[in-house]
Structure 1
Amino acid sequence: MAEHKHGSMDIKSHEKTFAGFIQFSTWVAGIAIGILIFMALANA
Structure 2
Amino acid sequence: MAEHGNSHGNAMDYAEHEKTYNLFIGMVKWGTISVVAIVVLMAIFLV
TM-score range, shorter chain: 0.7 to 0.9
Local SS of the residue matching 2:13: coil
Normalization by structure 2: what TM-score? 0.71
State, as a whole percentage, how many aligned pairs show the same letter.
30
- Of the two, which has the highest radius of gyration? 2
User: Is residue 28 from structure 1 mapped to residue 39 from structure 2 by the alignment?
Assistant: no
Q: CA offsets per residue over residues 3-25 of structure 1, 9 Å max, x none?
A: 8xxxx743110010000000011
**Cα RMSD, aligned residues only:** 1.7
* Number of equivalenced pairs: 40
Normalization by structure 1: what TM-score? 0.76
Gap regions ≥5 residues in structure 2: 1-5
Deviating beyond 2 angstroms after TM superposition, the runs of 4 or more aligned structure 1 residues are none
